[in-house]
Amino acid sequence: MNIKEYAKSISGKEYGYPQFTKEEIETAEENGFIIVYGASDDLMEFDGGFCGEGGCFDGGEVFFNKHGVCYDDEKRESYPNCINAVWDGDTDESGKLIPWTYETDIPHETFMIYEGGEPYCRGIVFRLEDVR
C-alpha cells in the first residue's frame, strides 16, 4: 500500500479513542508509516512505526527521531525532525475552521478527522524512512 492510499483509507473518521483500529495501526507499522493527529486540546499523537505524544497546547513544535518523541529538551539535538501543530489556523474546502493542522518539511499526505460531523483535525501520514 502506498502512503496516499493509506491516508485516504483512514480519512473521514470521527474523533474517538482509540482513534485507529488495531488493523489500521498494523498496516501503518508494516508499511513504515507514521500517523500524526491531534487529541484533546493539547496533544500531538504519533502512531504506526512508533507511538508517542507531544504536548502542544494552543499549538507548538514537537521534535522526534526515527525511534520516538523527544521528552527531554536537554537531549533535543538527538531529535532532528519537527512538526509544528497549528491550533485554529486553517479551514477546510467549505471554509470551516479546522482546530488541528500540522506543518512539516517531511514529505507527507493528509487525512481528516471529524467531531460531530465538523472538522477536528487534518492529520498527516509520512514514511519513517523520510525522517532523519
Domain locations in the chain as residue ranges = 3-130
pLDDT < 70 positions in the chain: none
Predicted model pTM: 0.96
- Torsions phi, psi of 7, nearest 5? -60, -40
Q: In this structure, are residues 30 and 58 in contact, taking their beta carbons and an 8 Å threshold?
A: no
- Torsions phi, psi of 73, nearest 5? -55, -30
Tens of pLDDT, residue by residue over 100-112, are: 999 999 999 999 9
pLDDT value for 23: 98
The answer for residues whose C-beta is within 8 angstroms of residue 1's C-beta and 6 or more apart is 9, 27, 31
* CA–CA distance, 114 with 76 (Å, rounded to integer): 33
